[in-house]
Structure 1
Amino acid sequence: MEESSKSTQELAMEGQKHLENTIESAFQILNSMNHELCNPNLWSPPNPNTITNGNGVHTNGVDSDSNNHHSEISGGGALDEARLRYKASVAALRSVLVAIPNSRKAKAYDIDPMSTDDMDAEKLEEHASALRKELEDKNKHLKLLIDQLRELIADVSTWQSPVAV
C-alpha cells in the first residue's frame, strides 16, 4: 500500500516503529563508541614513524587533527553499521512524517461534505420520526390513565355522597 493511501493512524503506527528503530540505532552508536573508546586494543596501532617529543606526546610530522578526523570517518564495523541503520531509520521516519499531512489532505478530498450532511440529515429525520411515534404512544397511554383516573374519582365521590333514602 502506498503511503498516500494509508490512513493517518497507519502512518502513525509506522512512524512509531521507525522512531523506535532510530532510538535503537542511536543507542547502538553510543554503545559502539563507548566500546571503542574504552577498549585500547581497538585504537589504531601507533605508527612506526612515531616520535615521542620531550612532553611524552607522539608526533610523526603529520597534523594530528587530520589523523583523528580520518579515524572518526572510518570508525569501527559496529559503529558504521549502527550509523547506516540510524540514517536509514531517520530517512524512513521523515518520509512518514511528510506523508501524514498528505494523507489528511487526500482524506479531506475523498469525503464529500454534502454527502455527509445529507447522511446526517437523514439520520436526524429518522430519529425525529421515531421520537414522534414514541410521543404518540405515550400520549395514548397518558390519555388512558387520565380516563381511568376520572372514573376512579367518580367512583370515590359516589361512595362518599350521602345516601338519600
Structure 2
Amino acid sequence: MSNGKSVQELAVEGQKHLEDTIEAAFQILSSMNDELCNPALWSTTGVVSSHSSNGVNGDASDSLQQSELGGGALEDARLRYKSAVASLRSVLTAIPSHPKLAKAYESGNAVGGSESGADQPEIEKLQDQVITLRKEVADKNKHVKLLIDQFRELITDISTWQSPCSL
C-alpha cells in the first residue's frame, strides 16, 4: 500500500474493496444456489473421493474435483472473495500507518499545527468508518461461513437421499 495516498483515497479504496468482498460473497451464495438447483452436480462419487484424500495436494485435488462437479464458478467466487478480503485488510492496515494519522497517534491523537482543528473530525470520522467496515466484514464472514456450513449439511442430506437403499 502506498503512503503517497491521502486518507480519503485510502478510504475510497477500502470502500471499493469492501464492495468487491460483498459482491464475491454474493457470488459464492449464488453459485451454491445454482449447484443446489442442478441435480447433475450432485454426484456423490466426487464428494466421497475428496474426503478420502490423504492430504497430499489437498487444495489442488479439491479444486479439480469441484471443477469436475461444476463447482468452477464457486471456486472462482471463493478466490475472488479471498483476494478482495486480502486487499481490504491491506487498506485497513495502511490507514493507521498513514503519515498524517501516524503523527496523530504519536502525539496522543492530536495533529500538530493549524490543521489539527480541520483534520481531527475527518480523522475521527475515518476511524469510525474503519471500525464499522471491520465489523461489517466480520459479520459478512460469519454469515458466509454459516451459509457454507448449511450448504454442506444440505449436500450431505441430498447424498443420503440419493444413496441406494439396501435392505
What TM-score comes out, normalization by structure 1 length? 0.49
What TM-score comes out, normalization by structure 2 length? 0.48
Structure number, greater radius of gyration: 1
